[in-house]
Amino acid sequence: MNLTIAYMTSRKDPKIEWFACTLAREIRDSKFSPSQIIVVDFHALQEGRKEAFKEFFYQFSIDCQVLHVPPKPTVWQGPYKRTKNEYFAASNARNTAFALCQSEFIACIDDLSALAPGWLDNVRHAMEHRYIALGAYKKVFNLSMDVDGRLSFDENPHGVDSRWPRGGNGIAHARGTDLFGCSFAMPIECALKVNGFDEICDSVSMEDVEFGARLERAGFQFQYNRNMLTYESEELHHTPGNQCFIRNDRKTKSGLHADWWILEKRVRSHETWTCGNDFNLREMREKCLAGEPLPIPTKDTDWATEQPLAEM
């Protein structure tokens, strides 16, 4: 079974070299390599950026297809946005990776991250046993590594994954709402079965918990794995150019704030399919893999308030 690893970033300096260096160590140690890497990068079209990223993969001798793309067109950010401002749109970015994934299995990882020893072997365990793996994370200070991918950092007691105490010594059963977007892996069929991340969460957040809740209702099993661990830089989240885009928790027509509406109407619902996606992800993926372009959205009003997007 082939593996795609999707790396997500909207930061000017995501430290892609950390990912490349530690992935190279994992490939050497496990004797197993992904068949495809997809870098979904808000700044992908910046002059020289693709060449610079490509050089890191070449430097660390990672020999697989590397696809470096901007997120698919969305009304919330980027060149096709209908809004005045750039908004948070993690659902759209992850659906981009799903649509371009050529493998049967996909692992997603956020930027500013380095892979702990054993990360790839634990992804492979999930592949072999066909479950949804929820990777652990720790946010640390002064993260660095040598050319062989050996890590050094200062511990951050406030940066430990909130699920960590439930992890035992390794793999532990988890719920869908335990899915955090920074590190997870699954058969691509799981994502297709529920139509991917719900883009109604774009501009708000809660996309990972909402996605996990629908996957659980669709009957899929989850395992939280401390040994599928990533380390993230705490301080680099806050440097100029690295901050997240706007999240707008406005009131909906029902009177609930948007995040509470998603919690009450989506996370706690009985639905398995998305309500905010105007596409079928399986069909979109088939078209993408056949060489067709990603679709351009056309809506021009906010789902929550019916306000024109051009005013936001």
pLDDT tens figures, 4-55? 999 999 999 999 999 999 999 999 999 999 999 999 999 999 999 999 999 9
Do residues 205 and 88 make contact, with C-beta atoms less than 8 angstroms apart?
yes
Strand-pair partners of 67 = 38
CB atoms within 10 A of CB 256: 15
Strands 132-145 and 3-9: unpaired
- What pLDDT, on a 0 to 100 scale, did the predictor assign at position 276? 96
pLDDT over 90 at 242, yes or no: no
Q: Which helix (H) or strand (E) holds 210?
A: helix 207-217
Do residues 216 and 206 make contact, with C-beta atoms less than 8 angstroms apart?
no
SS3 301: strand
**Two tokens at 293?**
């372009």
Rounded Cα distance, 39 and 237, in Å: 18
Do residues 197 and 90 make contact, with C-beta atoms less than 8 angstroms apart?
yes
Residue where the block lists tokens 């808000």: 42
- What pLDDT, on a 0 to 100 scale, did the predictor assign at position 229? 98
Rounded Cα distance, 44 and 21, in Å: 20
**Two tokens at 253?**
């027509």
SS3 37: strand
Mean per-residue pLDDT of the chain: 96
**Two tokens at 306?**
């019916």
175 confidence band (pLDDT: 50, 70, 90): very high
- Write out the E strands in the chain: 3-9, 36-41, 65-69, 105-110, 113-115, 132-145, 151-154, 171-174, 183-187, 222-233
Rounded Cα distance, 89 and 134, in Å: 21
Strands 222-233 and 113-115: antiparallel
Residue where the block lists tokens 């079928």: 280
The backbone region for 177, taken as left when phi is positive above 0, alpha when psi lies in -120 to 50, beta otherwise, is alpha
pLDDT over 80 at 1, yes or no: no
| pTM (whole model) above 0.95 | yes
- What pLDDT, on a 0 to 100 scale, did the predictor assign at position 47? 97
- The interaxial angle of helices 16-30 and 119-129, nearest 10 deg, is 70
**Distances from the Cα of 38 to the Cαs of 4, 65, 110, 154, 161, in angstroms?**
7, 8, 12, 30, 25
pLDDT over 80 at 209, yes or no: yes
